[in-house]
Amino acid sequence: MADGPNLFLDAVVLLGGATIAAPLFKKIKLGTVLGYLAVGVVLGPVLNFITQGKEVLHVAELGVVLLLFIVGLELKPSRLWEMRREIFGLGAAQVVLSGIVLTLVARYTYFSWNAAIVVGFGLALSSTAFALQLLEDSNEDRLPHGKKAFSILLFQDLAIAPLLVAVPLLAAGNFDMSGDNLTPIAVAVGCLIALLFAGRYVLNPLFGIIADTGAREAMIAAALFIVIGAAMLMQYAGLSMAMGAFIAGVMLAESSYRHELEADIEPFRGILLGLFFVAVGLAVDLRIVWDNLVLILGLVPAIMALKAGLIYGLCRIFGSDHNDSIRVAFVLPQHGEFAFVLFSAAVGVSLLTPQESSFLIAGVTLSMAFTPLSVKLGGLFLKGDAAESMTEDFEGAGAEVMMIGFSRLGQIAAQALLAGGCDVTVLDNSAERIRQARRFGFRIYFGDGTRLDVLRAAGVERARIIAVCTREIHTTDHIVEMLSREYPKAKLYVRSYDRGHALELLERPGVWQIRETFESALVMGRALLEGAGLTREEAAEIVKDVRHRDRERLKMQLKDGLLAGGEMMHSAPVPEPLVQPRHTGTAIGDETKHVLDD
């Protein structure tokens, strides 16, 4: 990128291109990632408007760093320990097996043994940025296959350190473990211990001091300082910057400042990660691609298919079903950004030539571009019901208010609770609703609200108030009966279906109910009255009277035991309306056979 005023011009063009391409590509269901890549390719190698893509990529790598920090914030150390089988089992198996197989392919196609090891294990690594962004865009990051994909990516981030250490050893042609060669390992361990110590004993007090001052900009600066500082420390240790940011995030996962940190970092993460994808497109060398077009177009899909097959087989071995294994395999077949670092290091020690490195990097870049298409292709291999399922994971559940069922009524009620500062745990059994709700910040969990063990796992015993917002009458009745029996002191607020259902619920002590469409119908009635020529005050008085009389009728019907499937005749005189209608027709409140119902 140019210096001076041209720097701002380049920035404006990049931002403008991203603003147009990202929504456009998402609209045509190709994903924002491919849109960012297209912007980079057009502005860089095609139009030659921005020529220094590598410099942009260097800055944009901060997007990957911030992404891993936010991922770490959502993973408590205890949760990370629970994932150890996937990380150190499935993740390690993927790196080792894919590395060995791709090493053999590289050796028997072109490269020497030492170079083939670097090439094979470099191509075995997937793109953390691409894979996590695609999973996040489709709200699949918390689904079982999303968690497995993340576990593999996390181990790959760990694997970059020993691979970088191995490059000079392979170039030297021996694996002499002398003091000089052990020094980088000692430095890495020391830096890791220092980061863990700082995360445990320094970061929380630091943020506490800054928060007491009330300087919000200082909190943002401190958050960026922690993330970038941890990343640079790990880079100095020979590990990846992304790994340092991830560890910092995990160390702060249980902090009371976690949500504020995430809110502060998120805007920087979004724009820099988008810039990273643009920079990958800028760095494409079209000359090399064109000169080797047939070879690259043949090798890249073939190697991606081979890698996907290996990942699928390992997922099956580690207990995943067919559909989850397919999803993981088709989201991780690309090669990753760490290949750029590894191949550049190999050129520096003459293990690879600059031409070989450029050819490999072109293949890596194209594999990234093919990833959104790979994900779509994977859908063709799903069996049976392709709808995603979720596991019952109640990490962090438990609040003063529990909502069972995230129906339309529940969604609106939850917004009011959150706006009022109430902590709400929502339980629903629809994977699609959960994915949509999480995009808007609701703390929602997958689970069957009709099961007592699930409710207990979700923290029902800590709830002072329980809102039952399920749609089916029999489901609602089952939950209310169970909660009334097990937690007789709990306050139950229940969505009722119709008048008959409302009367049944009101017979239970401690239950508050509302018919699902009653209040909205009154609002519409008021609007109709105003449309018919009544003043706002007259319409409001009539609606107030209707609401009052309805409440009184419910009390009367409960007292007299008059229940006939929701339809009954008023058994008492109905008061005259407060305002006489101006038009002909039956007056509101006439003693006729009618029911104010849903």
DSSP-derived 3-state class of residue 403:
strand
Q: The domain that contains 285 carries what CATH number?
A: 1.20.1530.20
Place of tokens 């150190």: 88
Residue whose pair of structure tokens reads 């089916």 in the numeric block: 472
Distant-in-sequence contacts of 48-53, Cβ < 8 A, 24+ apart:
49/10, 49/13, 50/1, 50/10, 50/13, 50/14, 50/282, 52/1, 53/279, 53/281, 53/282, 53/283, 53/284
Are residues 207 and 81 located together in one domain of the fold? yes
- Taking a C-beta distance cutoff of 8 angstroms, is the pair 286, 45 a contact? yes
> Which pLDDT score is estimated for 388?
47
Domain contains 69: yes
Q: Is residue 571 part of a domain?
A: no
Residue 12 counted as domain residue: no
Q: Which of 461, 488, 516 is the last residue of a domain?
A: 516
According to the model, what pLDDT value does residue 306 have? 93
The answer to whether residue 560 sits within a structural domain is no
pLDDT tens across 359-400, in order? 888 888 888 888 888 888 888 888 765 444 555 555 556 678
Question: In this structure, are residues 83 and 92 in contact, taking their beta carbons and an 8 Å threshold?
Answer: no
Q: What is the predicted pLDDT for the residue at 30?
A: 65
| In a shared domain, residues 203 and 342 | yes
More confident residue, 177 or 220: 220
Q: Tens of pLDDT along 465-519?
A: 888 988 888 888 888 888 888 888 888 888 887 877 877 887 777 788 888 777 7
* Residue 8: inside a domain: no
Residues 303 and 419 in one domain: no
pLDDT for residue 434 is more than 50: yes
Confidence check: pLDDT of 195 > 50 = yes
406: phi then psi, degrees, rounded to nearest 5: -105, 55
> Per-residue confidence at 161, pLDDT binned at 50, 70, 90?
low
The verdict on residue 559 lying in a domain is no
Beta bridge mates, 404: 427, 468
What contacts 182, CB < 8 A, 6 or more positions away? none
Cα angle 111, 114, 120 (rounded to 5 degrees) comes to 65
Same-domain status, 417 and 276:
no
325/311 Cα distance (integer angstroms)? 8
Q: Residue 313 has what pLDDT?
A: 93
Structure tokens at 46: 């095609």
* CATH at 457: 3.40.50.720
State the chain's mean pLDDT as an integer. 76
Q: Which of 498, 516, 534 is the last residue of a domain?
A: 516
Q: pLDDT value at position 98? A: 92
Tens digit of pLDDT for each residue in 74-132?
A: 667 776 777 788 888 999 999 999 999 999 999 888 888 888 898 999 999 998 877 88
Rounded-to-10 torsion of CA 259, 261, 265, 270: -20
What's the pLDDT band for 563 if we cut at 50, 70, 90? very low
Question: 123 and 211: one domain?
Answer: yes
Most confident of 43-52, 213-222, 463-472, 570-579: 463-472
d(CA 583, CA 598): 25
188 and 302 fall within a common domain: yes
Selection from 83-97, 161-175, 223-237, 244-258 with the highest mean pLDDT: 83-97
The residue-averaged pLDDT of 69-77 equals 73
Residues 70, 141, single domain; the answer is yes
User: What value does the mean pLDDT take over residues 323-336?
Assistant: 89
* Residue 223 and residue 288 in one domain: yes
Question: Is 545 within the bounds of a domain?
Answer: no
- Which DSSP category does 42 fall into? I
Instruction: Compute CA distances 484 → 169, 184, 514, 568, whole Å.
Output: 69, 63, 18, 28
Nearest to 311 by CA among 98, 85, 87: 98
For the cut 50, the answer to whether the pLDDT of residue 575 exceeds it is no
Point out the domain boundary residue: 500, 516, 532.
516
Q: What is d(CA 129, CA 142) in angstroms, rounded to the nearest whole number? A: 16
The answer, yes or no, to whether residue 591 has pLDDT greater than 60, is no
* Same domain assignment for residues 440 and 333: no
- CA–CA gap between residue 168 and residue 350 (Å, rounded): 9
Same domain, 332 and 446: no
**Predicted pLDDT at 307:** 94
| Beta-strand pair 444-446/465-468 | unpaired
177: amino acid identity, one letter: M
452: domain range?
401-516
pLDDT of residue 534 exceeding 80: yes
pLDDT of 540 above 60: yes
- Mean pLDDT, residues 42-49: 80
Helix (H, G, I), strand (E, B) or coil at 511: strand
* Helix, coil or strand: residue 253: coil
Q: Answer yes or no: do 373 and 405 share one domain.
A: no
Angle at 146 between CA 144 and CA 149, to 5 degrees: 110
Q: Are residues 458 and 364 in the same domain?
A: no
Domain count, the chain: 2
pLDDT for res 172 = 67
* pLDDT band, residue 53 (cuts 50/70/90): low
pLDDT at 154 over 50: yes
pLDDT average, residue stretch 403-427:
82
Average pLDDT over residues 163-167: 76
Does the residue 344 lie in any domain? yes
